[in-house]
Chain A
Amino acid sequence: EVQLVESGGGLVQPGGSLRLSCAASGFTFSNYWMHWVRQAPGKGLVWVSRLNIDGSTTIYADSVKGRFTISRDNARNTLYLQMNSLRVEDTAVYYCARGNHEAFDLWGQGTLVTVSS
């Protein structure tokens, strides 16, 4: 089955760190750019970051630049998001998504990150 499965979310204090994972299956992971997108409670989707197929080029939204790091392990078919210096406003469901035609053609079900003291 073609799918993406996120994990690693949870409750963390402001200033803390968390690493999210996204396991891909059913397709050739190394052929696709990959993204992270988040949705704060009651809000819309917000694009977070993009990574090219070999992991050499990373792009970030201004709101997370310098704090978040996107990476991938093509041998393990896994995408990561290392989140440091977390803020209350980073609280959201985080989705990984496959990029295609400048759209997002496959999504996971998301993992919830709550930043609170």
Chain B
Amino acid sequence: QSALTQPPSASGSPGQSVTISCTGTSNDVGAYNYVSWYQHHPGKAPKLLIYEVTNRPSGVPDRFSGSKSGNTASLTVSGLQAEDEADYFCGSYAGSNHYVFGAGTKVTVL
């Protein structure tokens, strides 16, 4: 399985929204509603933000939202805050008990 495609970087000012795309294939993102998103501050443990395309674990602010259309999933961060500056990874179930991730998007809060 190949890695999912994410833009290397994204940015926005405090209070603005930023949307990150995650493009896969009909064998992973397009085949299953098992897309997840993670926030990773370097040196710390990654944190699950979204699972099953749109669901937020308890404790994750509703500023984070997910969606999917065809082979492309998206994460939107609304009302950007300074602490949102981090790397964001998407992941997907890829069938046959395998999983695939994106290469990550570095979000900068201007």
Contacts and interface: CB of A to CB of B under 8 A. Distances in A.
Contacts of A61: 98
A47 B51 contact: no
A110 to B, nearest CB: 7
A39 B103 CA distance: 10
Given A44-B3, A45-B91, A109 B104 contact: no
A58 to B, nearest CB: 10
A59 B46 CA distance: 22
Contacts of B38: 45, 104, 107
The CB with the most chain A CB atoms within 10 A, among B48, B99, B102, is that of B99
A109 B97 CA distance: 24
Interface in A17-52: 35, 37, 43-47, 50
Interface in B65-110: 89, 91, 93, 97-104
Interface residues of B, number: 27
A92 B6 CA distance: 20
Nearest to B47: A107
B54 to A, nearest CB: 12
Interface of A: 4, 35, 37, 43-47, 50, 59, 61, 95, 97, 100-110
15 contacts: A44-B6, A44-B101, A44-B104, A46-B101, A47-B99, A47-B100, A59-B97, A61-B98, A101-B34, A101-B51, A103-B34, A103-B51, A103-B52, A103-B91, A107-B45
Interface of B: 3, 6, 32, 34, 36, 38, 43-48, 51-52, 55, 57, 89, 91, 93, 97-104
